[in-house]
Chains A and B, each alone.
Chain A
Amino acid sequence: MITCKNLSFSYDEEQDPAIDDVSFTIEKGSFVAVIGHNGSGKSTLARLINALYLPSQGDVLVAGMNTKDPDKLLSIRKTAGMVFQNPDNQLVATIVEEDIAFGPENLGIPREEIGERIEKVLSIVGMEEYRHRPPHMLSGGQKQRIAIAGILAMEPEIIIFDESTSMLDPSGRKEVLETIKTLHEKGITIVLITHFMEEVLQAERVLVMEQGKLVLDNTPAEIFTHMELLKSYDLKVPEIIELAMELKKAGRDIEFPVFTEEDLVRQLCP
């Protein structure tokens, strides 16, 4: 679905590249998390997939389309939708339904169909009753769900979440993560960019970025066994996993993966 081949990108000739020779492939329908601390290049990567930036070297292919091909620009952005960090800065209209219509309008979808799509996507994100409200009166989590609905209305195959939960309070974050889970179940390929390690647990695969390089690429369970390495990248391992690791080190017989408190409790008191 998404293929990066020897991808490099620099904002400035003289600076170190923000993305440095990265190659990977993301399968259709998968749920991939990309983690890394600030400045590791993870957001740049998202923008390269969406063709907001073009590679300095190498190629990005989205559903077989090269992002360097200007004729494919709209199809690429339609195929790989992107939800940004700040919910306020991605809503363009003053009424929820008109904001959701923005993407389909740009694609030239007939208005009857846009109406149907609005109804459909609002029910997916569970915001039907907010259809005629102005977005600035919604909470952060709700705004972000509307932003997701706006992307969904373009019927993408992939959705990239560029730190879409980082500006939300815990309950807003939960709302958005639940929505992401629903979308994955519907068969949409998810690329979740985050610096919250807890969010990574939902994913099927984790890419760890550090200084523009792809340093780890594996399942969450496998990733967390490299605890020292993750710490050296300034990434915080979820407490429950750290506890389980320490217990194992102290001689307890613990089987991984351990993601939640329940997982650990079940192993300690079977």
Chain B
Amino acid sequence: MLKDMTLGQYYPIDSPIHRLDPRTKFLMTFMYIVLIFLFKEFYQYGLLLLGLGIVVWLSKVPQRFILRGIKPILFILIFAFVMNLFLTPGEVIWSFWKLSITREGLRLALLMMFRLFLLIMGSSLMTLTTSPIELTYAMEVLFTPLKRLGFPVHEMSMMMGIALRFIPTLTKETDKIMKAQMARGADFESGNLLSRARALVPILVPLFLSSILRARELADAMEARCYHGGEGRTRYRELCYEKRDAFAMVIFLVFFGGILWLPRIIA
């Protein structure tokens, strides 16, 4: 169950997508997420999926890695689909007892599912092809203007970087705790939702406890390595835009602009 978390798991290989500047990828992903919600036609999503497919192919990340990101949100996906399907008013096309499906509902439910699917695919593709540290650097640079407003930009990106660094460590630990509890007869798979949620308590308590201890040790280790906030700090990994970034951005904008304008051209 825990092995399925791809969000925030870097897939370390070399590919044209991996080599792009993280700021470029970050901006692209941001625009991509906004654009997903602007599209209204199914063929637009079709084209988007095609575009995403090409990027996935270029990134050399195995498809199953990207698709794995869906599993944890499968429930939300189905929930959103069902809610939209039954609760949208409009022209009824099928009804059963008190439930009825409308034409608008079906359309909205499918669109919502497409959007969520593409949203997760796109963002996991970014985290799979960008090392977390690069990502936090990119955020730190892009959010620097907020520093003037007193927003702790360096601290935020440091926290994010550390959180990402500890995902695999804590995942491994959770697995270990689960196995230890299972060996003592704990049951995580049967029963209703409530009893399953209750079964998680013996996992969460030791996990929280050990995370707090880890955090303390990490803070000591960071201080021992002269960490004193963002002031006077240099960066080993310097980000620099290259021609390929501009090239990728142009392709991206043309492609998305094209999809966005397509309905008007057709009309």
Q: Which residues of A are in contact with B by a Cβ distance under 8 Å?
A: 47, 50, 52, 74, 77-78, 81-82, 84-86, 88-95, 97-98, 101-111, 114-115, 118, 132-134, 136, 150-151, 154
C-alpha spacing A245/B156, complex, angstroms: 59
B165 within 8 A of A: yes
B217 in contact with A94 (CB, 8 Å): no
Q: Which residues of B are in contact with A by a Cβ distance under 8 Å?
A: 10, 12, 131-133, 161-162, 164-165, 168-169, 172, 214, 217-218, 220-228, 232-238
Q: Quick one: closest A residue to B165, CB to CB?
A: A94
* Contact sample, A vs B, 24 pairs, CB 8 Å cutoff: A50-B224, A74-B226, A77-B223, A77-B226, A81-B224, A84-B217, A84-B224, A88-B214, A89-B218, A92-B161, A92-B218, A93-B161, A94-B133, A95-B12, A101-B237, A105-B233, A105-B235, A106-B227, A109-B234, A110-B234, A111-B234, A114-B236, A136-B168, A150-B225
A107 in contact with B226 (CB, 8 Å): yes
Q: Quick one: closest A residue to B166, CB to CB?
A: A88
Given contacts A52-B223, A94-B131, contact A105 B217 (CB under 8 A): no
C-alpha spacing A133/B133, complex, angstroms: 13
Q: How close is A88's CB to chain B, nearest CB, in angstroms?
A: 5
Residues of B contacting A102 in the complex (Cβ-Cβ under 8 angstroms): 222, 225, 227
Q: How close is A208's CB to chain B, nearest CB, in angstroms?
A: 25
C-alpha spacing A101/B233, complex, angstroms: 11
B221 in contact with A103 (CB, 8 Å): no
Number of A-B residue pairs at CB separation under 8 A = 101
Q: Quick one: closest A residue to B169, CB to CB?
A: A88
Contact of B221 among A89, A132, A133 (CB under 8 A): A89
Residues of A contacting B164 in the complex (Cβ-Cβ under 8 angstroms): 94
Given contacts A94-B132, A110-B234, contact A84 B226 (CB under 8 A): no
